[in-house]
Amino acid sequence: MTGFFRVFLLGFLFYSYIVSCSILRETIPSRPLNDGAISILLKIDKNAREEFEKVTSWEIPYTFIEKDHSYAVIHRDKLKAYGFPKEGINIAKGMPFKYYSGNYQDSLSESIFALADIKKGYKDNILNSHYLFWVHKLFPKHSQYKIIGKSARGREIPAILLTDTNIPDEDKISVLFNCAHHSNEVVSVEHCYDVIYELLAHKKKYSDIFAKLKIWVVPIVNPDGSRVFWHENMSMGRKNGYPGWGQVTEKDNPGVDINRNYPFFWGKTKSNQTSSVSNSVFFRGPYAGSEPETQAMMNLAEKERFAASISYHAFANCILVPYTIDGTSNPEPDLVWSLGKRIASSVESKNPNHNFSAKKNIYGVDGVDQDYYFFKYGTLAYLIESSHLNPPYSDVPKIVESLRPAWTILLEEIADGSKLYFKIKDEHGSPLVANIKFDKLLFYHGEVRTSRKEDGMFFQSFPGIRGIKLKVEKEGYETVNWEGTTWRSWKAVDIVLRKKAPAQ
């Protein structure tokens, strides 16, 4: 790198940081949320633009402009008031979502990035990769840009890891926020970006969180679905769009519903919301864990052993508490429901028709991510359905603000709540994979709790529970009985397993 280019790059990054700081100080104007009216996309011929602007008095902005046409989003109840459709001004059908996103062209062409840019509008997979990369460049001491895998069509699945990079990861615990398993639910992505923005914009406030936790954020789990929804047709995007399974073509809604593809209870639910039919929008795949997107999330979970997670969707306005699958029974005592209800009571719903509540499910499902994490690792894994489905972006700030207590409460519980935190090693200090068997914790589906092989770590949050009695077991080693109370301090307890003496 030449000296001139190095100076130029440092100057550019510094200028970006200054711009970011100035934008952060700006307040976001608020206005009442819409009443749930359906948004309509209008396609305006270039010769009809003057008429459109006159009739609407410039109150309806263009969302996308092409050479021969412009596009604008209005509410259905305003069509009649403006006299639309009319010559040259018609309802657009079968269009990609990019025409609904008013800032898309501007966002792609920006040459200077600031943190507040991530709050300007909806994001496709292209903008998502761009934003996560530049967020890391602006905040290298509190973030890392990661690629956790590739999609069915070979697109990267980017993530950002938020943590204090000056503090070693040795004693940190991981938490996960993911969005857009279903990429047609673009409002879900905004909840992931709310986590990113709030934590980085208020680093001092959350310094303890940065020091204790590794917060993984995967805003778009399904980049292929994002691609087709944004750039091909809004009728697709729930699935991953890969035409490799079944007798389907590119135009027959190809691919797999990734959030029906996880292994726990895969294919066991008799419900019209999960399907073995390849062209169904709920197609669960040919076998459990068949999709590379599913595998990427499973591999990340195996590596990190998430203590808690939230998967964001839209738009039933509720928090789903595992196990969400009919016919399943939660372990006893139940670690997730009390916290789920506390989260639900903290949310001030912005949906005019439904209160926010905690539920087991809203319909029969199987193969979902939150149940897999809960089963496999004891993750306090929730799914939050946002209050609206892809509303005008001017409504998004109020929506994400109303649901913000969910992720802040979850982080506080992991960082400061009752927990068990062990490092299990042999007598030479090497980490061990051992089974943790609780004396009075009942499992009903063969759940097994183990320490992590890389460092012997075992972490479990126990909301509202104090007294614990357990055994730490590993074949060939003497069993360790442990009895005590959960604690709130951030210090792991070492448990040493000694090899059994050879039989005489």
pLDDT at residue 39 in the model: 79
Q: What is the DSSP letter of 296?
A: H
> What is the CATH classification number for the domain harbouring 291?
3.40.630.10
According to the model, what pLDDT value does residue 134 have?
Answer: 95
Note whether 174 and 212 are same-domain residues.
yes
With respect to residue 6, please indicate whether it lies within any of the assigned structural domains.
no
Which among 259, 226, 243, 230 has a CA at the least distance from the CA of 157?
A: 226
**Of 399, 416, 433, which one is at a domain's C-terminal end?**
416
Query: Distance between CA 339 and CA 327 in Å, rounded?
Result: 22
Q: Which residue, 378, 394, 416, sits at the end of a domain? A: 416
Instruction: Classify residue 108: in a domain, yes or no.
Output: no
385 in catalytic set: yes
State how far the alpha carbon of 297 is from the alpha carbons of 218, 232, 396, in Å.
9, 26, 27
Tell me, yes or no, whether 340 and 472 share the same domain.
no
Domain count, the chain: 3
* pLDDT averaged per 10 residues in sequence order, the chain, 504 residues: 42 35 28 53 95 93 89 89 95 89 77 90 94 97 98 96 96 97 97 98 98 98 96 92 61 86 95 92 95 98 98 96 96 94 94 91 96 98 95 91 98 96 97 96 96 96 90 97 94 95 77
> In the listed set 416, 437, 470, which residue is the last one of a domain according to the structure?
416
Which pLDDT score is estimated for 251? 58
Taking the model in full, what pTM does it have?
0.89
**Could you tell me if 462 and 492 lie in one domain?**
yes
Residue 79 shares a structural domain with residue 133: no
Do 403 and 451 have their domain in common? no
DSSP, collapsed to helix, strand or coil, labels residue 69 as strand
Decide if 16 is inside a domain: no
- Pick the closest to residue 255 from 155, 364, 118, 119 (CA basis): 155
Q: Six-digit token pair at 345?
A: 């009571």
Buried b (16+ CB within 10 A) or exposed e, 97-119: bbbbbbbbeebeeeeebbbbbbb
What whole-number percentage of the chain has pLDDT above 90?
A: 75
* CA-to-CA dists, residue 450 to 184, 237, 305, 454, angstroms: 37, 37, 10, 12
Asked if 49 and 179 sit in the same domain, the reply is no
Residue 438 half-sphere exposure toward CB, CA atoms < 13 A: 20
* Same domain assignment for residues 143 and 244: yes
Angle at the Cα of 87 from the Cα atoms of 81 and 89, rounded to 5 degrees: 60
Q: Please give the single-letter amino acid code of residue 227.
A: R
Q: Are residues 59 and 168 in the same domain?
A: no
Bridging pattern class, strands 357-359 and 380-386:
unpaired
Which residues lie below 8 Å from residue 249, measured CB to CB, with a gap of 6+? 243
Amino acid 343: pLDDT: 97
Encode 410-428 in three state secondary structure. HHHHHHHCCEEEEEEEECC
268 part of a folded domain: yes
Query: 403 with 476, same domain?
Result: no
String of b and e for 18-34 (b: at least 16 CB within 10 Å)?
ebbeeeeeeeeeeeebe
How far apart are the C-alpha atoms of 179 and 311, rounded to whole Å?
A: 6
Q: Which CATH number belongs to the domain containing residue 467 in this structure? A: 2.60.40.1120
Q: Is residue 345 part of a domain?
A: yes
Same domain as 341, residue 214: yes
Same domain? 63 vs 86 = yes
Across 263-287, b (16+ Cβ under 10 Å) vs e yields bbbbbebeeebbbeebbbbbbbbee
Active site residue: 190, 293, 304, 385, which one?
385
Integer angstrom CA distances of residue 338 from 334, 459, 464: 8, 19, 8
Crossing angle (nearest 10°) for helices 125-138 and 223-231: 120
DSSP state of 501: P
Closest CA to 187 of 438, 455, 388, 382: 388
Is 301 part of any domain? yes
Full domain range(s) for residue 485: 419-496
